[in-house]
Amino acid sequence: MRRFLAIGYWLLAVSLSALAQSNVNYSVRVGETKENTVLAEFPESYEGKKVNIRIQTVALTEDRAQTDSLDFVFADEEIEALGTWGEQVFAYTDEGETEWTVWRSKKEPKNRNQAVKVKNGRDSFEQYLQETLGTRANRGWIWWIFAGVIGIGVLIKSILTIRKRRAEKLLSSVEQETLHRMRMGNRRHYISQAYLWILLLVLYAPIALIVIYSFTDSKILGNWTGFSLELYANLFTGHADAGLNSAILNTVIIALIAAVSSTILGTLAAIGIYNMRARHRKAISFLNSVPMINPDIITGISLFLLFVALGVSQGLATVCIAHVVFCTPYVVLSVLPRLSRMNPNTYEAALDLGATPFQALRKVMLPELWPGMLSGFILALTLSVDDFGVTFFTKGSGGLETLSTFIYSDARKGGLTPELRPLFTIILLVMLTALIVINVRSNKKAKKEQKQ
Amino acid sequence: MSKILQIFSSRRTWAWPYVVFLVLFVVLPLIIVGVYALTDINGDFTLRNFAKFFSHSAAIQTFLYSVMIAVINTVICLLIGYPAAYIMAQAEFKTPAVMAMLFILPMWINFLLRTVATVELFNMCGLPLGEGALLFGLCYDYLPFMIYPIYNTLQKMDNSLVEAAQDLGASRWQSFWKVIVPLSMPGVYSGIVMVFMPTVSTFAIAELLTHNNIKLFGSLIQDYITTTDLLNYGAVLSLVLLIIIGLTSFFGDHGGSGEEKGGVV
């Protein structure tokens, strides 16, 4: 029975991969360069007769926001030229020039030659694709490898099981019965473990994709051009996109400013709140929880409107203030538990013995509070680095970009700056190491406590 | 100088800077959203913005669609996440800590980058972007927020209750439904709140996952707010979203014990 199951698995994997291979579409987004930003996509196979070019435009009128999309059938009809510029989309057909303006567009093409030109149907279009993108290798082998790995695993497993079963036939029937019962118990365990691992596999598939393609120098994700560490080199030698470099720098600056100020503000606030009367404490705790409950977009928009109403020009300062707004509550919450654990009289004792409040804070309270402050600080740092929504609304139009907003505008333009892949891999590794260290340490602690 | 020192020697006053900060940058902005919603472009009082929302069928449709997507996403996350949390909490050996860690790790990676990676995965596999991709991406982004609180409550649960139920003759199935599920409800509530709230207010993700084909309410608000002439109407839409958020967090407070909330960080 098991043997059949294993063979079935193997067949399933192989046929699935074959199916996947036959379904490979030439779906690309044209124009990876920043200048020729394109919203066009090619959903149909271009080896076939029909190629649909889809141009998506967004238009916002006074009372409705709408998304239009246009399909061009490309094999028979001739399209003179198709081009996009900035966030503006132009398409020229036989019927004459049609133009859609994308909302929020600022630039117009300087001349039409700068726009992507597609003439006389398929041949030149293919040429264009090859020139800009390079021929995209058939990705079928990826699926074969995938199937192969699964298949070999299943094969080994089933061979082992068969050998085990053969050995078991020598046992007495009672022993076989017990073994069977044990296995039924184990099966539940295996199924639940398999569920977790499959879930993890799906969760990590996109992440793995980026990590794998960080080791090739292809401009487009999904196009393997051989192993290379060039992207890593670019990232560290500053040869990456200038926008990316400044985005990384901005992210670090903002995160540090926000984390330091929210740690100071939050620690003082926590000490104050802890010593307040219950009624006041409740009110302020509620206020403190508001930025945590509010989704990014509400925090961002409300601050944006505040700055607009006050006439403040938005930039680095406003982003920092906004980050302090959503970071500080977490600092307060991580310092408060430390306060309730410490002896409340030591501070007063220090004052009685002649210390100034500042000295008492530094010499008596800080040594007790710093673990909470540290975890608050780290939390604030990660929250700030991770934030997109609030930054997006408060960064103003001065061209300030953080990593998040850079990725967003990059992705909207239809491509991902290649150097983001190694950056992402490094961040992932750092996070993984940090989590493992924390985990190992807390495990050790738990063991110690158990012994005691 | 000594007077100032005296004031600050009472530790109660140390919270004042933060209170001022909160009033300035949390309370005031929320009031200003209301003010903008109630005024027109010249700053005169008007109710036209609200009237516009109720006659603006496209916005209402987008709103209902977003709520629907958020509900579906929450249900999917619950259906996938609960068993995962349950299995992790049940395991008696050392793996669960590592497992839980692996589930939480993606949460610490920029969600936009994860979304872009999802889009690339779909592109690579030749799958079309659309509603399916949107739901997959949302679920992918927010599943850890569902698993973690449920896992936390399940892990803290007193196992002797389950044993007692089984000693009293309950089957595995019965003890699961009558003991474990009710006891894990606080975690489920906070999981629901933590998935539903960001999903209903999401923007940016939907654009990327559907190639601008599907617009969620968050993106709509973003569109209007960043257009100077339509800013006041955007404020009305934000208020609508705020109401939904308020209702949801009320549900969370009501359902959850409150103690379990915010456990994610």
What are the structural domains, with CATH classification, of chain B?
2-37 (no CATH), 56-255 (1.10.3720.10)
Q: How far is A274 from chain B (nearest CA, A)?
A: 8
**Contact across the interface for B212 and A328, Cβ inside 8 Å:** no
Angular region, B211: left φ>0, alpha ψ -120 to 50, beta rest? left
Joined together, the tokens standing for residue A23 give: 């379904």
Q: Quick one: pLDDT at residue A72?
A: 33
Residue pointed to by tokens 């009367």: A277
Cross-chain CB nearest to B88 (options A196, A304, A308) = A196
Instruction: In whole angstroms, give the CA distance from residue A154 to residue A161.
Output: 10
Q: Which of residues 86-115 of B touch A (CB under 8 A)?
A: 87-88, 90, 94, 97-99, 101-106, 108-115
Q: Which residue has the higher pLDDT, A229 or B256?
A: A229
Model pLDDT, residue B224: 83
* pLDDT tier, B3 (very low <50, low <70, confident <90, very high otherwise): low
Lowest-pLDDT range, A422-426, B141-145, B227-231?
Answer: B227-231
Identity of residue A277: R
Q: How confident is residue A104, by pLDDT bands cut at 50, 70 and 90?
A: very low
A181 vs chain B: nearest CA distance in angstroms?
17
B190 touches chain A (CB under 8 A): no
A211: phi > 0 → left, psi -120 to 50 → alpha, else beta; which? alpha
Lowest mean pLDDT among A79-93, A398-412, B58-72, B175-189: A79-93
The pLDDT of residue A219 is 67
Cα→Cα distances B37→A276, B27, B31, B33, B240, Å: 36, 16, 10, 6, 10
Given a cut of 70, is residue A410 above it in pLDDT?
yes
A436 at interface of B, judged by CB pairs closer than 8 A: yes
Q: What percent of chain B has pLDDT over 90?
A: 15
Chain B residues with CB under 8 Å of A58 CB are: 212
pLDDT of residue A340 exceeding 70, the answer is yes
The segment with the largest mean pLDDT, out of A209-218, A293-302, B152-161, is A293-302
Q: Note whether B16 contacts A: Cβ–Cβ < 8 A.
A: yes
Return the closest-CA partner of residue A54 out of A77, A28, A20. Answer: A28
Secondary structure letter of residue A29 according to DSSP: B
More confident residue, A172 or B20: B20
Residues of chain A in contact with residue B28, where contact means CB-CB under 8 angstroms, are 306
Helix, strand, coil shares, percent, chain B, to 5:
80, 0, 20
pLDDT of A349 strictly over 80: yes
Q: What pLDDT band is residue A90 in, cutting at 50, 70 and 90?
A: very low
- Looking only at the bridges linking them, the beta strands covering A65-73 and A81-85 are unpaired
Instruction: Give the residue from B116, B151, B202, B254 with the most A CB atoms within 10 Å of its CB, the best one to mutate.
Output: B116
Query: Which pLDDT value is given to residue A331?
Result: 92
Contact A298, B201 (CB under 8 A): yes
Q: Which residue has the higher pLDDT, A9 or B80?
A: B80
d(CA A346, CA A365): 8
**Which residues does residue A383 pair with via DSSP β-bridges, in sequence order?**
none
Whether B175 and B130 have beta carbons less than 8 Å apart is answered as: no
Which residues of chain A have a CB within 8 Å of the CB of B224? 65
Higher-confidence position of B54 and A37? B54
- Start-to-end CA distance of chain B, whole Å, equals 41
Question: pLDDT at position A11, please?
Answer: 63
Beta bridge partners of A93: A96
Q: What is the mean pLDDT of residues A22-47?
A: 32
For the cut 50, the answer to whether the pLDDT of residue B125 exceeds it is yes
Q: How far is B58 from chain A (nearest CA, A)?
A: 7
CB B122 within 8 A of CB A231: no
Q: Read out DSSP for A220-257? A: STT----B--HHHHHHHHT-S-HHHHHHHHHHHHHHHH
Quickly count: other Cβ atoms within 10 Å of residue A43's Cβ. Answer: 16
Which has the closest alpha carbon to B76: B130, B133, B139?
A: B139
More confident site: B37 or A61:
B37
CB-based contact B123 A27, cutoff 8 Å: yes
pLDDT-derived band of residue A264, with 50, 70 and 90 as boundaries? very high
Question: B84 and chain A: CB distance < 8 Å anywhere?
Answer: yes
**Mutate which of A302, A381, A390 to test chain B, going by most B C-beta atoms within 10 A?**
A302
CB A308 within 8 A of CB A246: no
Binned at pLDDT 50, 70 and 90, residue A345 comes out as confident
Q: Which are the contacts of A145, defined by CB distance < 8 A and separation ≥ 6?
A: none
- Tell me which residue in B23, B106, B215 faces A65 most closely, judged by beta carbons: B215
Interchain contact, A328 vs B242, CB within 8 Å: no
Cα dihedral angle (A235, A237, A239, A243), rounded to 10 degrees? 60
Helix count (H) and strand count (E) of chain A?
Answer: 15, 5
Residue A130 confidence (pLDDT): 46
Residue numbers in B near A269 (CB within 8 A):
14-15, 17-19
What is the model's pTM?
A: 0.72
Burial per residue of A60-76, b for 16 or more beta-carbon CB atoms within 10 angstroms, e otherwise = beeeebebeebebebee
Highest mean pLDDT: which of A144-158, A347-361, B69-83, B90-104? B69-83
> What's chain B's Rg over C-alpha atoms?
23
Kindly report the nearest CA distance between residue A275 and chain B, in angstroms: 5
Is A136's pLDDT higher than 50?
no
Q: Which helix (H) or strand (E) holds A91?
A: strand A88-93
- Tokens matching residue B231: 């800013």
- Nearest chain B Cα to A384, which residue? B110
CB contact under 8 A, A196 and B52: no
B79 close to A (CB below 8 A)? no
Please tell me the distance in Å from B65's CA to the nearest CA on chain A. Answer: 15
CATH architecture observed for domain A241-416: Orthogonal Bundle (1.10)
Closest B-chain CA to A288: B22
For range A22-42, the mean pLDDT: 32
- Angstroms from B45 CA to nearest CA on chain A: 15
pLDDT at A16: 56
**pLDDT score for A377:** 92
With CB atoms and an 8 Å threshold, state whether B21 touches A200. no
Q: Which residue among A270, A295, A308 places its CB closest to the CB of B245?
A: A295
- The residues facing A59 across adjacent strands are A66
Distance CA B37, CA B30 (A): 11
pLDDT, one tens digit per residue, over A377-393 is 988 998 898 899 899 99
pLDDT tens digits for range A314-326 = 889 999 999 999 9
ipTM tops the 0.95 cut:
no
Q: Where are the domains of chain A?
A: 1-22+138-163, 52-125, 241-416
Q: Tell whether the model's pLDDT for residue A29 goes beyond 60.
A: no
Q: Tell me whether residues A204 and B106 touch, CB distance under 8 A.
A: yes
What is the nearest CA distance from B12 to chain A, expressed in angstroms?
Answer: 4
- Quick one: B173 exposed, middle or buried, by C-beta within 10 A (0-12, 13-18, 19+)? exposed
Evaluate whether A225 touches A134 at the Cβ level (below 8 Å): yes
pLDDT number for residue A56:
34
Residue type, position B110, single letter: N
Q: Which of residues 19-48 of B touch A (CB under 8 A)?
A: 19, 21-23, 25-30, 32-33, 35-36
φ and ψ of A289, to 5 deg = -85, -15
Chain-wide mean pLDDT for chain A?
69
Instruction: Give B72's pLDDT tier (boundaries 50, 70, 90).
Output: very high
Q: Please, which residues 342-401 of chain A have a Cβ atom closer than 8 Å to chain B? A: 347, 351, 356-357, 379, 382-383, 385-386, 388-389, 392-393
